[in-house]
């Protein structure tokens, strides 16, 4: 018996050490991720996060744009005052305009003065009275625009009194009423925009939380298997946390990138179509379609917040699932309660 075994061993050729090592390496199976890298629920969650991120970033950019436009309007109006001189038979209009400008520039806080000439006045009235307007035939007031220092404005009451004494036909308009109305409108618009942003962000938070929980419910069996074979709760939670962090970063990054691209393309279109009726109306209503560095930093902040929110939700959900599994193992009577 021993002779036949020895003969059989002699008949089997000896394998070289390199061949044995190669066979050993081939036997090692590649390890896959514990959590599936891509499944239906993961793709759905990524799409939901991308959509909500896009809406939140779009709302944030719109609010920033409206605020910047309102501040620009307010600054432009409060930077100038207007002296209006009504025509009179005994009044030398050109001399009165020059005297009003010179008098206004004597006050501290004024920086420049400009007389609106006849051609410019006719252009201002052209939309209402048509072309070829003869100012000598109509009692059209003439204007002097005075630029003031916003940080140190002049004494408007004293200027108004001095103008009335020298030129009775002159009327000083400091645009205070318009500035107050514009400030009120800007504050109201900013409050409405902030409210809309809060609602969109709240909806985004709820959607991301429930979508993350829904995606995790489809992978509950993975949590159960890992926990039953002895994996610690922290390890399982960290694996799911990494998985959903990648999903949230991809979805939020895609939504934020689309929003930033939208504002960049809108700004490019506006710069290429200047002096057209469509662009003029859009600029008058919304200002320039640029959100600046602050807007883009806000978009980046929203992406980070969504990623953190999704990751924390995934970790808490996995931890709670493991806690429920332990309770069921310790008391099988609670199975129906926690499965529901």
Give every CB contact of residue 248 below 8 A, 6+ residues apart in sequence: 49, 208, 306, 307, 309, 310, 311
Q: What is the per-residue pLDDT for 285?
A: 62
Residue 100, pLDDT > 80, answer yes
Q: What is the per-residue pLDDT for 153?
A: 83
Q: Tokens at residue 98, please? A: 């020059």
- Direct distance between the N- and C-terminal alpha carbons of the chain, in angstroms, rounded to an integer: 67
Q: What is the per-residue pLDDT for 76?
A: 67
Q: What is the per-residue pLDDT for 257?
A: 93
Instruction: Give the tens place of pLDDT for each residue, 15-53.
Output: 555 545 555 454 545 555 666 665 546 677 888 889 888
Decide if 248 contacts 314 (C-beta within 8 A).
Answer: no
> Rounded CA gap, 48 and 54, in Å?
10
Q: Tokens at residue 226, please? A: 């890992």
Q: What is the per-residue pLDDT for 180?
A: 74
Instruction: Give the tens place of pLDDT for each residue, 174-229.
Output: 777 777 777 777 778 778 878 887 887 788 778 777 777 777 777 777 777 877 77
Residue 4, pLDDT > 60, answer no
Q: What is the per-residue pLDDT for 275?
A: 62
In a 10 Å sphere around its CB, with 0-12 CB exposed, 13-18 middle and 19+ buried, how is residue 232 labelled? exposed
Residue 87, pLDDT > 80, answer yes
Q: What is the per-residue pLDDT for 204?
A: 75
Decide if 276 contacts 335 (C-beta within 8 A).
Answer: no
Residue 106, pLDDT > 60, answer yes
pLDDT band at 144 (very low <50, low <70, confident <90, very high): very high
Q: What is the per-residue pLDDT for 253?
A: 92
Residue 56, pLDDT > 80, answer yes
In a 10 Å sphere around its CB, with 0-12 CB exposed, 13-18 middle and 19+ buried, how is residue 10 labelled? exposed
Instruction: Give the tens place of pLDDT for each residue, 268-313.
Output: 877 777 666 666 666 666 667 777 788 889 899 999 988 888 888 8
* Residues linked to residue 110 through DSSP beta bridges, in sequence order: 148
pLDDT band at 261 (very low <50, low <70, confident <90, very high): very high
Q: What is the per-residue pLDDT for 258?
A: 94
Instruction: Give the tens place of pLDDT for each residue, 311-330.
Output: 888 888 888 877 877 777 77
Instruction: Give the tens place of pLDDT for each residue, 217-255.
Output: 777 777 778 777 777 777 777 877 888 888 889 999 999
């Amino acid at each position: 018996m021993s002779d036949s075994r020895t003969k059989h061993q002699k008949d089997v050729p000896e394998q070289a050490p390199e061949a044995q090592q190669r066979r050993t390496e081939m036997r090692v199976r590649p390890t896959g991720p514990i959590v599936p890298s891509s499944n239906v629920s993961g793709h759905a969650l990524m799409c939901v996060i991308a959509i909500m991120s896009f809406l939140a970033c779009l709302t944030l950019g719109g609010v920033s744009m409206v605020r910047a436009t309102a501040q620009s309007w307010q600054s432009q109006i409060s930077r100038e005052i207007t002296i209006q001189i009504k025509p009179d038979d005994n009044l030398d209009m050109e001399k009165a305009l020059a005297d009003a400008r010179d008098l206004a520039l004597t006050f501290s806080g004024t920086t420049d003065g400009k007389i609106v000439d006849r051609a410019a006045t006719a252009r201002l009235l052209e939309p209402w009275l048509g072309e070829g307007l003869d100012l000598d035939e109509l009692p059209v007031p003439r204007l002097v625009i005075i630029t003031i220092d916003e940080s140190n404005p002049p004494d408007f009451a004293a200027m108004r009194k001095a103008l009335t004494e020298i030129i009775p036909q002159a009327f000083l308009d400091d645009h205070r009423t318009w500035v107050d109305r514009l400030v009120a409108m800007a504050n109201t618009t900013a409050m409405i925009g902030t409210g809309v942003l809060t609602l969109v962000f709240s909806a985004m938070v709820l959607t991301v939380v429930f979508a993350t929980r829904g995606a995790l419910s489809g992978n509950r069996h993975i949590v159960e298997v890992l926990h039953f074979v002895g994996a610690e709760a922290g390890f399982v939670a960290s694996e799911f946390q990494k998985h959903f962090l990648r999903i949230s970063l991809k979805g939020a990054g895609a939504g934020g990138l689309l929003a930033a691209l939208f504002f960049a393309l809108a700004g490019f279109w506006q710069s290429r179509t200047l002096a057209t009726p469509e662009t003029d109306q859009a600029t008058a209503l919304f200002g320039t379609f640029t959100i600046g560095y602050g807007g883009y930093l806000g978009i980046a902040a929203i992406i980070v917040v969504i990623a953190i929110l999704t990751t924390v939700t995934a970790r808490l959900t996995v931890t709670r699932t493991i806690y429920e599994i332990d309770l069921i193992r310790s008391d099988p009577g609670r199975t129906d309660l926690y499965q529901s």
